[in-house]
């Protein structure tokens, strides 16, 4: 008798578990929620502005974001903010710095550095409604500084490229998935 009751409890527990798993328990996969209104089809992404003395970083970030929107979405991307775009994505590089991270104990020279970029982003509709805003994206990328002059390779440019791709991926995901 006790064995039959135990088996019924196990069967009921398993049935409940299967039922909850089948119903999804209220969870959904990332990417199902879209924050932008249905009438947005064209997004203007003019060149980002930079308040940083770092030359060209705003261009690399703009290009990476345009590539990411083209690769991951069906939105038509234009570069002119004055066009008939349904939304405009504007960004300002607030700061971009490279600081030594580690030093060679024998020579005292820096052997690695950390690039830190702070970016302000706003996506607005035609009527000025803010669809998405982040006043302070902060991204970091580490790179090695070569001490061998014969095989010297400047690693800071690839590090900025990696940082730009990471920023673009995160930004587009944040806009599309409403995080």
List pLDDT tens digits, range 45-80: 999 999 988 888 999 999 999 999 999 999 999 998
- Answer yes or no: is pLDDT of 86 > 90: yes
Overall pTM > 0.75: no
Give the pLDDT band of residue 18 (cuts 50, 70, 90). Answer: very low
pLDDT at 169: 96
Neighbours of 82 (CB within 10 A): 9
pLDDT at 159: 84
- Domain coordinates of the chain in residue numbers? 34-177
pLDDT at 44: 96
Collapse the DSSP code of 18 into the 3-class scheme (helix H, G, I; strand E, B; otherwise coil) and give the result. Answer: helix
* Domain 34-177 classification at class level: alpha beta
Q: Could you give the CA distance from residue 179 to residue 176 in angstroms, rounded to a whole number? A: 8
Identify the burial level of 174 via C-beta atoms within 10 angstroms of its C-beta, where 0-12 means exposed, 13-18 middle and 19 or more buried: middle
Average pLDDT over residues 135-160: 74
Phi, psi of 124 (to 5 degrees): -125, 155
Name residue, tokens 């969870």: 27
pLDDT at 2: 60
Collapse the DSSP code of 78 into the 3-class scheme (helix H, G, I; strand E, B; otherwise coil) and give the result. Answer: strand
How high does pLDDT run on average in the chain? 80
Collapse the DSSP code of 46 into the 3-class scheme (helix H, G, I; strand E, B; otherwise coil) and give the result. Answer: coil
Report the relative pairing of strands 42-44 and 130-144 from DSSP bridges.
unpaired
- Answer yes or no: is pLDDT of 35 > 70: no
- Answer yes or no: is pLDDT of 22 > 70: no
């Amino acid at each position: 008798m006790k064995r039959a009751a135990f088996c019924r409890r196990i069967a009921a527990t398993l049935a409940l578990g299967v039922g909850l798993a089948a119903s999804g328990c209220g969870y959904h996969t990332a990417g199902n929620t879209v924050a932008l209104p249905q009438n947005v089809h064209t997004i203007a992404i003019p060149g980002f502005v930079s308040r940083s003395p770092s030359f060209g970083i705003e261009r690399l970030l703009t290009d990476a974001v345009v590539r990411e929107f083209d690769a991951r979405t069906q939105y038509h991307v234009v570069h002119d903010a004055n066009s008939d775009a349904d939304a405009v994505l504007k960004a300002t590089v607030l700061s971009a710095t490279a600081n030594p991270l580690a030093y060679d104990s024998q020579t005292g020279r820096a052997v690695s550095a950390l690039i830190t970029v702070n970016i302000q982003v706003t996506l607005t509709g035609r009527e000025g409604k803010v669809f998405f805003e982040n006043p302070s994206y902060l991204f970091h990328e580490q790179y090695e500084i070569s001490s061998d002059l014969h095989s010297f390779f400047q690693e800071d440019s690839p590090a900025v490229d990696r940082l730009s791709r990471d920023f673009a991926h995160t930004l587009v995901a944040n806009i599309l998935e409403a995080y």
